[in-house]
Amino acid sequence: MTTIFADRHDAGRALAEALSLRGDLTDPVVLALPRGGLPVGREVARALGAPLDIMVVRKLGLPQQPELAMGAVASGGIRVLNPEVVREAAVPDSVLDDVAQAESREVERRERVYRGTRAPPELEGRTVILVDDGIATGSTARAAIQAARARGARGVIVAAPVAPPETVRLLGQEADDVVCLATPEPFLAISLHYRSFPQVDDREVKRILDDASRAGSEER
């Protein structure tokens, strides 16, 4: 039976319920992957009483087939590659470097736009929950895992409403755990598992983060 979520908020609440059953979330912080991960992450953070922030990751699209990831870059200069795609497409190092540099600049731009003058959250010794609205190849999630570990995370959990079984298995080799509500096979597209799946723009991302920041300040 195919799992269908009403929208990203519905998926986030379902994901939060699954995560709340865990008893090992040490000082958790929810880092959502922009843009689609923000509405999902907001619901998770609310339910867990955890702060919400972002982990900016950019896919390295194959030049002749941009939707296919040959790797990804993340905050902090993290870069991971999908060696099979790079090899099969015979991507030259110079092309790979050009794409990575362009996407790294976009990571920096988004950090400035989304967070403004706010400093990134401290991850040392904390449980980081990386949230997205769905995962396909896992390249961006892998980059996010490495970035979180590089910043001293005690544990890293990847949480998504839907992903292919093979991707969940591969991510489980790098994260401490993967919480995924639906693992369809064959996997066709993330959007097929939502009745409503509109684009999330920069303005909505910033609004969600600003709301989360204000809520955190009021609690303190």
What are 56-79's pLDDT values in tens digits?
999 899 998 888 889 899 888 889
Q: Residue 30 in 3-state DSSP? A: strand
Q: How far apart are CA 175 and CA 143, in angstroms?
A: 11
Asked whether 157 and 123 are in contact (CB, 8 A), the reply is no
pLDDT band of 100, cuts 50, 70, 90: very high
216: number of CA atoms within 13 Å, CB side?
A: 16
Pick the CATH number of 8-55+120-219 from 3.40.50.2020, 3.40.50.880, 3.40.50.150, 2.60.40.10: 3.40.50.2020
Query: Closest Cα to residue 121, out of 50, 194, 15?
Result: 50
Locus of tokens 């489980």: 172
The predicted structure's pLDDT at residue 3: 84
Average pLDDT, the chain: 92
- Name the residue type at position 132: D
Neighbours of 126 (CB within 10 A): 22
To which H or E segment does residue 159 belong?
strand 155-162
Query: Closest Cα to residue 164, out of 144, 136, 141?
Result: 136
Please confirm whether the linkage preceding 186 is cis (ω < 30° from 0): yes
To which H or E segment does residue 12 belong?
helix 8-20
Tell me the per-residue pLDDT of 125-171, one tens digit each, with 9 for 90 and over: 999 999 999 999 898 999 999 999 999 999 999 999 999 999 999 99
Q: How far apart are CA 62 and CA 82, in angstroms?
A: 11
Maximal C-alpha separation, the chain: 53
Judged against a pLDDT cut of 60, whether residue 217 lies above it is answered with no
Asked whether 130 and 33 are in contact (CB, 8 A), the reply is yes
Whether the predicted model's global pTM rises above the 0.85 cut: yes
Q: Alpha carbon of 46 to those of 40, 41, 50, 112, 216: distances in Å?
A: 10, 8, 7, 24, 11
* DSSP-assigned letter for residue 210: H
